[in-house]
């Protein structure tokens, strides 16, 4: 039995969440630290590679890295994670203070309406 053409249905797109520019940047993983270290040398050694091919080459190199050398990048990733956790805690604390202040101000404004 032949398949009928699928009807096109409107799919609701999610609204993109606006990022706060003051929010702390997410921590990088060990592989990403490795890529930051090695990417330029891979580009110089292979000037004709596309971005995709460079990514593949970086993946191959990562697989070849010894466990001893990976420890360096794992340590960087752990330190970056700690940095993120500290910054995130401070950021969220400040954000909560702002929300409480806004709620208090709104509460004060609501009381004014009852006098009419």
pLDDT in tens, 43-84: 999 999 999 999 999 999 999 999 999 999 999 999 999 999
- 20 lies in some domain: no
Residue 39 has a pLDDT of 96
Alpha helices in the chain (DSSP H): 30-45, 51-64, 67-113
Inside any domain, residue 13? no
CB of 80 within 8 A of CB of 28? yes
User: Residue 89 maps to which CATH number?
Assistant: 1.10.30.10
User: What is the tens place of the pLDDT at every residue in 89-113?
Assistant: 999 998 888 878 777 877 766 555 5
What's the structural domain count of the chain? 1
Q: Would you give the DSSP letter of residue 74?
A: H
When pLDDT is cut at 50, 70 and 90, the band that residue 16 belongs to is confident
pLDDT at 8 over 70: no
Q: List the domain range (segments joined by +) for residue 92.
A: 30-107
pTM check: above 0.75: no
């Amino acid at each position: 039995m032949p398949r009928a053409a699928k009807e096109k249905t409107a799919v609701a797109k999610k609204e993109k969440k606006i990022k706060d520019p003051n929010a702390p940047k997410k921590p990088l993983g060990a592989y990403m630290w490795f890529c930051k270290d090695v990417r330029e040398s891979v580009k110089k050694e292979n000037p004709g590679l596309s971005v995709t091919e460079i990514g593949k080459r970086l993946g191959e190199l990562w697989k070849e890295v010894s466990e001893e050398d990976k420890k360096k990048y794992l340590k960087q990733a752990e330190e970056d994670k700690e940095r993120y956790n500290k910054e995130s805690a401070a950021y969220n604390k400040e954000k909560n203070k702002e929300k409480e202040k806004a709620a208090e101000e709104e509460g004060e404004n609501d009381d004014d309406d009852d006098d009419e």
